[in-house]
Structures are given as structure tokens and as C-alpha cells.
Structure 1
């Protein structure tokens, strides 16, 4: 107390061994206040806040960090301002208050990056802010962008030799890879994170990693392996006091027991996990719990209850992902990237000025040439960035439009109506069968919309689900089948995600819907030379001429844009390949010259 150090590093080196003792930290803060030692008081309040946060007492934690921030602003201490802002951001993110949390992390990052010759403490908090931006991208389902941020932080943590930071970033990268469906990549990063946590002997880190590993084992249908990891964590996680991770552990335990058929244990664990999440204001964990309760009721054959929990989970998801937060997050991303580019241009301009001053005396000609080259390079760079930005926006717009096309409200409403009729007619097996297919289709469409390309096998699985759902409304009259040449491996061929559905929808509603009698759609995949495959969609509908006549007679005309968007996406996809794509639409006629359907041929490049 007599020395009254002004930096975080000196304070922390003196108090590191007792900073987790809430009684001592409270006493230390009071004494610092009495002695008018503001740096010490801010340090103590932040340490108290961190302990409350890790025991899920978020309101107390936020109040303490806010008080520390006000003290730090009063003495204009940048280190403690950055610390307090990041601490507040973490608390708000843990309670799903994304907008408020991001605002605090952005302020912290701006302050930290403005410091010349930053201290070790400031560098650590730059990494914390980068992690938060990574979490922002993850919230927007932009997993590749999130991984880029986490890898940046990972490198900086490696430079600092901070094993805790390395553990945290490997965990974050694993989370993103798991959400992308790359379970092996996720396992690798979770295991690296666990190794670092073992090295620094962190119970908290070990608990998080083991829960994540168990979750992967569940997705790989290994419930026994998952329980081996989860069961020892029940008491450990409660002792730690972080109910965010504890509630997830209990819900995952219930999931494992559901798969194993231990229904009494499953229900008890899932409900206990949901209760923890509700008591500590953790909406995302409540959503997760309701999803697992729906699966549990489905496994027991209680279809009505399964549907009720499915609806509750859907309502929670809507609350969490509200449009205001998403718009705010998008604005934050744009603002952050714009500020970074502005700073980079400013740094380049300063460096050019230094060079100009050094060469002025005896290199006038070289200076003028360099400035001209620099100006031209800057203009070309700006033009290139504008072109790249426009292209990225165009691609994003195409992906959003195709998702809206896939998930149009009429299809969703009509599909749910068809399933509802099965429920009303007491055809439970059919209702559950098609509800499962419908939920799987929606999940696949949402997952596919976040990636540029997917294996052909996954695309075929998606369209088969789509046709099964649509066939309900045609009273299962449509003969739909898929044939693949034996020398084609669908798992090794990539195509843009969500490509085939617009063509199938066109065949259904313009070709087959007005047709009487036998109805057929065949999807044939054939090899065409060494560099292409042909995907043929053949129907026996009324033909394009009759379909156009019907369309013109309708009072309400719906403008179809799905096929046009798909062609644009295929064109963008083909840029990464040596060969071009092509789309042909062929009218089919019988021997008497009468229309007998349509054939769509998509030529997809493979190299």
C-alpha cells in the first residue's frame, strides 16, 4: 500500500496469489478508497467482478466493473480503462447481451491500439478484444471469419508465451469448426486446448474442454465415451460455480442418457440444466435444453410433447437472434473493418512522408517517380478493394437470396399444414416421420447457406428431403428417383450449396402440378469427359409452352428468381475452376410432336 504502483503489471505481481480471495480483495478495495489510491481500488473491484462473473452472479459483476471503469476514467489510466471495458464486455456477452458487450469491447480495442509501445497487459487485452470480434463473427454464423480472428489472437498469444490465451483460442477455433460440421478439426483443437489447460493446471479450462469433447462424442454417436467425460464434471463444475458451463454439462449428460434409453435419468439431468440456465439468465442454454427435451420426448414416442418443446426452443431462438442485435453487429463489423483500413492507409502515408524527407536533398527525380508510382499503386489498390468489396457483397446477396428462395414462407407454411393434417387424422407415425424430415431439411438448408460449396452427396440428400416433403402435397403421386453413374463418387465432387432445388421446384409447380395422370421427376448424374459432370433433371410435365400459358392466365403472378440466382452462383463458382459451367433446358416431345416434359442439364466443372 505504501508503494502505490500505478501499473497493472506491478499491482498484479504483488497481489496475484490472493486476487481470487474475495474477502481480501474487498478489504483491499476499501483500504485503497480510504487512502485515495485509485489504481489499487480499480484493480480490486475488477478482480471481485471477475470472481462474481465466474460464479454466474452477473449483476454484481457488472456493477463492480462499471465502478472500476468510472474510477479509471477519473484518473485517466488507460490500462485500467481497457481492463474494465473488456471485463464488462465479457459479462454482457455471457448473458447474451451481445449489443452492449460488443460496444464495450470495441471501446477497449480502440483505446488499446492507440497506445504507443503497449505494455504486456495492453497486448493481452488487444487479444481479448480480438477474441470478442471473433465471437461476433461466430454469432453471425460467419465461422471462417471468426476463425481468422481467433488465429490472429492465437499468434499474438504465442508471441507473448501466454498458455492460457493459447488454450482459450484453440477452444474458440474448435467451437467454430464444430458449428461448421468439421468434427475432426474441432476434436484436434479441443485436445490442444485441454493439453494447455493441463499444463497450467486450470480446473476451469479442463471442465470446458472435456464438455466440448463429450459434445463431439455425442455427435459421433459415442454416448458411453461422452458419459465417461461428463459424469466426473458434475461436482467439479458446481464447485467452480460457473453455471453457464455447469448447465451445459447437465444438459449434455441428459442427451447421452436419452440416446442410451435411460429416460428417467435423461429427463432429470436436462431439467436440472435448464433450471440452472433460467435461474442465472442464460437464454442460449435454455434454448439448448429445450432442444434436447424435444429429442428426449421424441425418443420416448411422446410426439405432442416433443412438438411443444420444439416450439419453445424456436421461440427462444427468435428472442436471442432478434433483428436489432443482428443489425447492430453488422454495423460494428463494417465500422471496425473501415477503421482498420483507414488506419492502415494513414500508416502508409506517414511512411511515404518519411521516405520523401530522406530523399529530398539528392534524389528529387527518384522522389517524384516514387510518388507517382505510389499514387498509381494506391489508386489501383483502392479500385481493387472496391471491386473486391462489391464482388463480396454480390456473392453475399446471392447467398441470402438463394436462402430466401429455399426457405420461402409458402413452402414452410404448406409443409407444416400437411404435417398438421397427419396429426389431426391421428396418423402419428406419418406426422413424426415427415416432421423429422422437415426439421432435417430446414437444418440442412441453414447449414448449407453458410458455406460456399458442399459435396454433391450432401446436396442430393437435401433435395431428396425436399422432394419427400413436397410429395406429401401431391399425395405421393410423384415418382422421384436419383441415378448416379458408377464411376462417379458424389463425396469427392463439389458444387455450390442449394443448387438443384430451384430447378426441382420449377418442374413441380410449372410442369407437374397442372398435369393429370402419372407424374415423374428423374435426377440423373453422368460423367461428361474428364472435366465435367452432367446433372440432368427430367420431368414428364406439360412442357414450357403450356406452363407459360398457364402462368399468363393467373391473376397473381409470382416472379421466379431462384433459377436466375442459381445461374449467377454457378458462374461465380466456376471462376475457381479451369473449365466453365453451362445450363441447358431442353423441351421433350413424343413421336406425335406433343410436349412430354422438360429436361434441365447442368454441366458442372470438376477441375
Structure 2
């Protein structure tokens, strides 16, 4: 009887170990698939896998990070902040810390909280420099430059963008910085220089596409920004082509921030052409999208433009 009982207990232990091993394997598979979808820019699929990974291990750093990244790229910034914040206690080494701080900085910037964005980007930058991680350092410098850009401090933003240029290790990273420099010049009213840098970014991405497949997301963003620059130089037909192409691309990804930006630029384009009906249509779509993603500053600015057009009709 005693031997039977011991055998029964042994079987239970083996069953428990087997179940635990299967669960651990399933979790690892979900996390790996989630990051794989992030790399391929299939963000909706990554979000689903990230949710499943979190359900499997809710304290996991990697599960929270991947789910946060998916939501960040989809424009669900408040959800992303929540996921990254859950990941912070599990960031048990400097590499994890500098990575999650970088993402928190980006997410806070996108909801207009520049104070928190600067705090996290600065923390990530300090760790990246100590670790000699030039790739993340360049990313942090770009993020800080974009904070200054949003505040209208264009010379300061250019300083950070130019500092990041020699640190990039990928074509897409370099293209992002060229694009950001273009946005800074646009803010300064130098539209020809803005077009020069957005075009430089797109040429680099097209060249990389032939070699490595390119970066669909960054290409779409640069096209939308180039369209905005062409509005500035009154090249409306070219602007419409660029914005529409970029907008079609970001809709496929589901990147709400850039969908809203594309709508806003189309609103501006039609307003400049004197077509207030179409302008209002796109500004309203942009306003709705900005409210969805929690970008209160952009939502306010877009609503002001809507009211201005309605008053002048």
C-alpha cells in the first residue's frame, strides 16, 4: 500500500513538472512570436500574442515590454505606458532598465507629457552611454530632440538630431533622424531644406529596401511628412500623392498617430486650395483620431482649426 502511494505521488510530481514545462515552453513561444511580429511591423498580431503572453506570465518583463511596444506603435499610448510601467519592477538589469525607460519616454511624449518624457529619456540615455550601446543612445538623443521640437525649440532639437547621426547602425534609424531634421527645418519655416532631408530619408530607405527589405513604417511616416512639406511650397498635387500613399501605408499597419497626421495634412491641403468642405471632413477625422489616442494638444489645435474654418465659411 505504501509503495502504491509513493508511486502515485511520484506520478503527480511528474505530471506537475510536465505541465509546468509545457506552460513555460508555451510562454517562451508566445514572447518570441510577439517580438517577431514587432520586427515585421505586424502590430495587431503582436498585440494579440502579447496579451496571451501576459496572461501566461503577468509578471514577465518581456511579455509586458512586447505588449507595450505593440500598443505604442498602434497609437494606444496610455495602454503602452501602463504595460511599460508594469515592466519596470521586472527590469532587473541595466539593459532592461534603459530599454523600458526609452519606451516610456516615447509614450509620454506622444500624449504630450514632455516632463515625464524627458525624465525617462534622460535616464535611458545615461544608462546607454555607460553601456556603450550606441544604437539605443542614438534613439534616446532622437527622442530628446523631438521633445524640444514639440516645444518649438528647433535649434536645440537639431543639436540632438545631429549628435545622433554618427551613432546609427541601421538605415531605418538614420532615415528617422533625417526625417526628424526635416521636421525641424519645416518648423523653422525652411521648407526647401525640409524637403531635402525627407527626400534624403526616402532615398536611403528605398536603397535599403533593395538590400534588406526596407522599413515600411518609417517609409510611410517620411512620405506623410514630405507631403506636408510640399503643401508648404504650394506643390499641392505632389503633396496629395505623398500624403495619400503614406496614409494608405499607415492604415495597413494601424498606426493611429500617423493616420491622424495624414488626415490633418489633407485638411490643411484642401484648406489651402479653398475647398473648405473637404478640409473640414479631414480635420474632423484627424480630431477624432487624436482624441482616441489621447493626444490632447493635437486634438485641441485641430479643433481650433475646425472652428476657424467654420467661422470663415
TM-score by length of 2: 0.78
Offset at residue 177 of structure 1 (A):
0.9
Query: Is this contact kept in 1: 2:109–2:147, CA < 8 A?
Result: no
Offset at residue 14 of structure 1 (A):
9.0
Unaligned 5+ runs, structure 1: 5-11, 303-607
**2:88 aligned to which of 40, 60, 69:** 69
**2:106 aligned to which of 79, 90, 94:** 90
Instruction: Flag the structure with larger Rg.
Output: 1
Match of 2:47 in 1: 22
Q: Does 1:111 align with 2:127?
A: yes
Match of 1:317 in 2: none
Q: Does 1:218 align with 2:237?
A: no
Match of 1:45 in 2: 64
Match of 1:146 in 2: 157
Q: 2 CA distance for matches of 1:17 and 1:49?
A: 14
User: Residues 112 and 230 (structure 1 numbering): CA distance in 2 closer, same or farther, change over 3 Å?
Assistant: closer
User: Residues 207 and 291 (structure 1 numbering): CA distance in 2 closer, same or farther, change over 3 Å?
Assistant: farther
Match of 2:188 in 1: 180
Please give the residue correspondences for 1:169-208 in structure 2 after superposition, counting only pairs within 5 Å. 169-198=177-206, 199-200=208-209, 201-208=214-221
Higher RCO structure, 1 or 2 (CA under 8 Å, sep 6+): 2
Q: Which deviations, in whole Å up to 9, do the C-alpha atoms of 1:156-210 show, x marking residues without a partner? A: 11xx3x1121011111111111111111111111112222333243232122111
**1:156 aligned to which of 161, 167, 173:** 167
Q: Which deviations, in whole Å up to 9, do the C-alpha atoms of 1:411-444 show, x marking residues without a partner? A: xxxxxxxxxxxxxxxxxxxxxxxxxxxxxxxxxx
Query: Is this contact kept in 1: 2:102–2:120, CA < 8 A?
Result: yes
Match of 2:243 in 1: 230
Match of 2:222 in 1: 209
Please give the residue correspondences for 1:438-449 in structure 2 after superposition, counting only pairs within 5 Å. none
Q: 2 CA distance for matches of 1:69 and 1:140?
A: 28
Q: 2 CA distance for matches of 1:264 and 1:140?
A: 31
Q: 1 CA distance for matches of 2:55 and 2:292?
A: 31
Q: 2 CA distance for matches of 1:61 and 1:191?
A: 31
Q: 2 CA distance for matches of 1:145 and 1:255?
A: 27
Q: 1 CA distance for matches of 2:271 and 2:37?
A: 43
Offset at residue 248 of structure 1 (A):
1.6
**2:116 aligned to which of 88, 100, 107:** 100
Offset at residue 140 of structure 1 (A):
4.1
Please give the residue correspondences for 1:348-497 in structure 2 after superposition, counting only pairs within 5 Å. none
Q: Does 1:137 align with 2:148?
A: yes
Offset at residue 71 of structure 1 (A):
0.4
Query: Is this contact kept in 1: 2:84–2:103, CA < 8 A?
Result: yes
Structure with greater strand percent: 1
Offset at residue 297 of structure 1 (A):
4.1
User: Residues 91 and 270 (structure 1 numbering): CA distance in 2 closer, same or farther, change over 3 Å?
Assistant: same
Query: Is this contact kept in 2: 1:183–1:216, CA < 8 A?
Result: yes
Q: Does 1:59 align with 2:78?
A: yes
Q: 2 CA distance for matches of 1:27 and 1:279?
A: 24
**2:297 aligned to which of 284, 292, 297:** 284
Offset at residue 295 of structure 1 (A):
5.7
**1:248 aligned to which of 248, 251, 261:** 261
Q: 1 CA distance for matches of 2:68 and 2:215?
A: 19
Offset at residue 61 of structure 1 (A):
0.8
- Per mean C-alpha deviation after superposition, the further-off stretch among 207-216 and 258-267 is 258-267
Aligned residues: 275
Q: 2 CA distance for matches of 1:173 and 1:287?
A: 25
Please give the residue correspondences for 1:507-522 in structure 2 after superposition, counting only pairs within 5 Å. none
Offset at residue 78 of structure 1 (A):
0.7
Unaligned 5+ runs, structure 2: 1-20, 25-30
Match of 1:459 in 2: none
Q: 2 CA distance for matches of 1:281 and 1:175?
A: 22
Q: 1 CA distance for matches of 2:230 and 2:185?
A: 14
Q: 1 CA distance for matches of 2:71 and 2:33?
A: 22
Offset at residue 249 of structure 1 (A):
0.9
Helix, strand or coil: the match of 2:36?
A: coil
Query: Is this contact kept in 2: 1:255–1:296, CA < 8 A?
Result: no
